[in-house]
Structure 1
Amino acid sequence: MVRPDSALATAERILGALVEIPAAVLVVAEIVVLFSGIVARYVLHQPLVWSDELASILFLWLAMLGAAVALRRGEHMRMTALVARLPPGARGFVDALAVTAGLAFLVLIITPAYHWAYEESFITTPAMEIANAWRAAAFPVGVVLMIVFSLLRLALRASLASALGAALLTAAIVAAFWFAGPTLKPLGNWNLVIFFVGVVGICVFSGVPIVFSFALATLGYLALTTRVPLGTLVGRMDEGMSHLILLAVPLFVFLGLLIEMAGMAKAMVRFLASLLGHVRGGLSYVLIGAMYLVSGISGSKAADMAAVAPALFPEMKARGAKPGDLVALLSATGAQTETIPPSIVLITIGSVTGVSIAALFTGGLLPGVVLAVGLCFVVARRYRTDDLSHVRRATGGEILKAFLIAFPALALPFVIRAAVVEGVATATEVSTIGIVYSLVVGLVFYRQIDWRRMGTILVETAALSGAILIIIGAASAMAWGLTQSGFSRTLAQAMTQLPGGAFGFMTVSVVAFIILGSVLEGIPAIVLFGPLLFPIARAVGIHEVHYAMVVVLAMGLGLFAPPFGVGYYAACAIGKVNPDEGIGPIWAYMLALLVGLIVVAAVPWISIGFL
């Protein structure tokens, strides 16, 4: 491995900064463009006809630069549950193999990406009347940057033996598939099993980032078994990650990080603690309630947990709570609040299935309450013998003071909701209202905005958003490949003929999405299977919003359940707790969530009663 003070490491840091700075600027630019559109339309009554087009151009650049930043920082989503159990030497080789697998895809796609961008240069945008190459160039530029960062990552973080061995093995596998091409074509739909089950499964369980697992399988399937040009793969990835509604992803991620810095999350937690801190297990109830409130603001589970845990865990430990219990409940609340608007998963469902996002936001509130009741029941049982003789109950004056301090923060979810309902902003734009509101409240009321941290937050937003959006692009291309093969028709026929009708379909969906949530996480699973399964749900008589709530909660259960759920390990990292300590206590909470999920699935009114 290269020393961290070497010239190569210095060059990597400089290049990283040169990519992070424009990525951060693009986040700011998106906020300014979309908020200006709201002001021009609603206040000045002079709509900016070019605002959506400019936002779309900047958005693809943000997605690709953010993906490059995420790759450099090692933040692309991957399943490491099995890799983490390997001895250090083997783990180093497998980590290097994950990098070379992604590098193989990037090298194979760079030429089609260039040709696709060149063809887009002949298209003129309707509003701004500029060549679409200004937008399309983002894809090949992003691919080149990811190639460079992949090579630097190998040089700086892998031993020479691991890097060479991984590169040779990857090249050998690619060559083997290439020479097997003539044999694969006559196999027909068996190729779906080979590529979309075999290749994806092996890559995912080997720790290859999910985006490259999907992309490699799709590229191999199209290149070796069809006559579809690879430029189509690039176009489908672009189409998947370029839905204007997905602009809400980076903006809500930034909003979640902003409310933590502004002190708004801490104010809400203190108010809840003043109400329930004297009750047995009271701070556990506060944790459940705080996650419900914060999730309704940020839309990012990592941001939710990072906002709440540091404010509550120290006091909970001081009252005798075990670290394993704390991280178990934190994980459970992460799964419980998956449907609380503005959930990024709900936004993704709306973008890929056409379901009304406003309806999804309305339908997501009550299912979270049902699961919260189940968690509260477990808390009541677990902490029924607590000794609270040393805990002082807050006075009425203290509660009122905490409420007045928290009021601006508590009002934010209602401000966001009202802006959408009253037509002031779309679901894409409304996050900018939340951002401006949080900045004003943080500066004027809480006075905790730290401008020195703003650059870090913007870069974190770009990296997380890029990692999410490029997965959506790869999963969209994969879903298109499955659709073109006729798989969707076969799946639809099989699912509609399940015994039990709607009940049988819902039962199979719950089991399938719990498994998918533990392996793929919510967004890739939704993009891949949402366009296939939602029409089937309609055909068997299940309301789309009800079905969306069930599958999102099922995925959340899988995402936060050990041993495979990556959300559980994120909660452990945020709580600074060894994962082994939480595995025992978490199962009671998971059982409560499963019971709540069954109730939500059995009673459609919980999801659609207020539509």
Structure 2
Amino acid sequence: MTSSLLTPSMAALVLFGSFFLLLAIRIPVAFSLGLACLPVLIFEPRLSPMVLFNEMFKSYNSFILLAVPFFLLTANLMNSGGITERLMRLSRALVGHFPGGLAQINVILSVFFAGISGSSTADAASQGKLFIEAQVKEGYDLSFSIAITAVSAVLAVIIPPSILMVVWGGVISTSIGAMYLAGIVPGLLIGLAQMATVHAYAKKRNYPVYPRSNFTEIYKAALLSIPAMLTPVIIVGGILMGLFTATESAAVAVLYAAVLSMLFYREMNWKTFIAALIDTGKLSSVALFCVGTASVFGWLLAYYQIPKALLSNVQTWGLGVIGVGLLIAVAFLIVGCFLDAIPAIIIVGTTLQPLAESVGMHPVHFAIVGIVSLAFGLITPPYGMCLMISCAVAKVPLSFALKDTMIMLIPMLVVLLAIILFPDIVLFLPRLVSPEMLK
């Protein structure tokens, strides 16, 4: 058998050098990951370019990943079928009288949306259309309106159900049900931190408020929204009770959203349903193509034992759970700026997993620290997909809203630090509700 032509350090240099070069010339991330593998596959005598296709198809042979298009379709059905509108009315009734009323509604609606769709990009797109122009008309600064829309959208990957948790569970074999429970408290804490940030902005800039809703208005809004708000209860509850798997829960969410939109609220017809299917197909193809090319990239890293070489040095530092937690957060915060969250989980998550295990970090704690850290990458340039979408809706460059966005990330960083220092913030709810999931 011929020896490897490339050493681990040479292979790492070729892979990452090619990847960042392709990104620099504006090749999309998914294509950059695949193309960066070709030089290694072509010149390494023990490998073949066919590995690219074999590993891509292997990565798609996953029942869990079927949940990704189903959750994206759920989000599209919500937006097309009047569900989002009902949740917006309830949000206004609950928090419209707080300082910065419309921005507070934006945050609360993101919390509700997160509990149904699991997609931050879908949240940013729908909320951007609903709120950015409306806030500007009411006297809010455009940069603030863009920032709060983008920042609140990331709640969708933290509060269950979350597409990133599904991918993490499939790739790193962590209980999805446990992650769903573990994400609730951090997600709500981040939501509260965002509401506090809006309050501070509103007081400083004298943003408007709505009149306080009376009990009758709150009751009517809640009554219309109850069917929609039952979605996360059905999804998470069904998994915890063993009625269905995470993938099956995503399919149930689609069926439930379709029934609500077409039969209960009656705001969706076959034309809008087909449009939602087509849009979901486009979004799913991008996300799943990323999974395929990232899997090949990750396979080559493992083939050359690059993660092992990196971690052998880190393990000599003698870090504990908190030290490793901080290291994991920093790694994901940096990688998330340049890479989509799904390939980041496949490449970086699998690389850091042995390190987390070596210090006794609980797999669910590791997962939530990683996912919350990756959520920042949805906002921070140069990748920052949620910020890009919000700026595109407002028709302004990315730099326009950057200052307000960075300010709003500070309270989120505080929450991230808290869940690293105090793992019980993440683990106490799974222990309380379903302790067997943590074993």
* Cα offsets for 1:427-446 (capped at 9, x unmatched): 11112211221222112321
* Cα offsets for 1:397-449 (capped at 9, x unmatched): 12211111111112211122222222222111112211221222112321101
> Sequence identity, in percent?
28
CA contact (8 A) 2:337 2:377 kept: yes
CA contact (8 A) 2:119 2:162 kept: yes
Q: Aligned residue for 1:544?
A: 363
Q: Aligned residue for 1:329?
A: 148
Letter in 2 for 1:464: L
CA contact (8 A) 1:338 1:552 kept: yes
Q: What is the CA–CA distance in structure 1 between the aligned matches of 2:210 and 2:172, rounded to whole Å?
A: 50
The 1:436/1:384 distance shift into structure 2, 3 A limit, reads same
* Cα offsets for 1:510-562 (capped at 9, x unmatched): 11111111101211111112222112201111111111111111111122023
More relative contact order in 1 or in 2 (CA 8 Å, sep 6+)? 2
Q: Which moved more, 1:516-525 or 1:383-392?
A: 383-392
* Cα offsets for 1:553-602 (capped at 9, x unmatched): 11111220235423311122234454343122112101111111111111
Q: Does 1:583 find its partner at 2:402?
A: yes
Secondary structure of the 2:357 match is helix
The 1:428/1:389 distance shift into structure 2, 3 A limit, reads closer
CA contact (8 A) 1:257 1:457 kept: yes
Q: Does 1:376 find its partner at 2:195?
A: yes
Letter in 2 for 1:415: I
Letter in 2 for 1:484: Y
Displacement of 1:270: 0.9
Q: Return the index of the structure with the highest Cα Rg.
A: 1
Displacement of 1:278: 1.9
Q: Aligned residue for 1:287?
A: 106
**Aligned pairs (5 A) from 1:151-162:** none
Q: Aligned residue for 1:137?
A: none
Letter in 2 for 1:330: T
Q: Aligned residue for 1:516?
A: 335
Q: What is the CA–CA distance in structure 2 between the aligned matches of 1:526 and 1:489, rounded to whole Å?
A: 17
Instruction: List alignment gaps of at least 5 residues for structure 1.
Output: 1-183
Q: Aligned residue for 2:165?
A: 346
Secondary structure of the 1:229 match is coil
Match of 1:398 among 198, 217, 228: 217
Secondary structure of the 1:237 match is helix
Q: Aligned residue for 1:429?
A: 248
CA contact (8 A) 2:96 2:209 kept: no
- The number of aligned residues is 428
Q: Does 1:308 find its partner at 2:308?
A: no
The 1:336/1:407 distance shift into structure 2, 3 A limit, reads closer
* Cα offsets for 1:326-354 (capped at 9, x unmatched): 11011111234421122111111111111
CA contact (8 A) 1:255 1:434 kept: yes
Letter in 1 for 2:14: F
Displacement of 1:252: 0.7
Secondary structure of the 2:226 match is helix
**Aligned pairs (5 A) from 1:76-475:** 186-384=5-203, 391-475=210-294
Q: What is the CA–CA distance in structure 1 between the aligned matches of 2:209 and 2:28, rounded to whole Å?
A: 49
CA contact (8 A) 2:329 2:369 kept: yes
CA contact (8 A) 1:550 1:597 kept: yes
Q: What is the CA–CA distance in structure 1 between the aligned matches of 2:318 and 2:429, rounded to whole Å?
A: 31
Q: What is the CA–CA distance in structure 2 between the aligned matches of 1:391 and 1:187, rounded to whole Å?
A: 65
Q: Which moved more, 1:215-224 or 1:256-265?
A: 215-224
Q: Aligned residue for 1:96?
A: none
Secondary structure of the 1:560 match is coil
Displacement of 1:472: 0.9
Instruction: List alignment gaps of at least 5 residues for structure 2.
Output: 431-439
Q: What is the CA–CA distance in structure 2 between the aligned matches of 1:443 and 1:273, rounded to whole Å?
A: 24
Q: Which runs of 4+ in 1 moved over 6 A?
A: none
Q: What is the CA–CA distance in structure 2 between the aligned matches of 1:242 and 1:427, rounded to whole Å?
A: 16
The 1:388/1:483 distance shift into structure 2, 3 A limit, reads closer
CA contact (8 A) 2:119 2:156 kept: no
Q: Aligned residue for 2:419?
A: 600
CA contact (8 A) 2:90 2:218 kept: yes
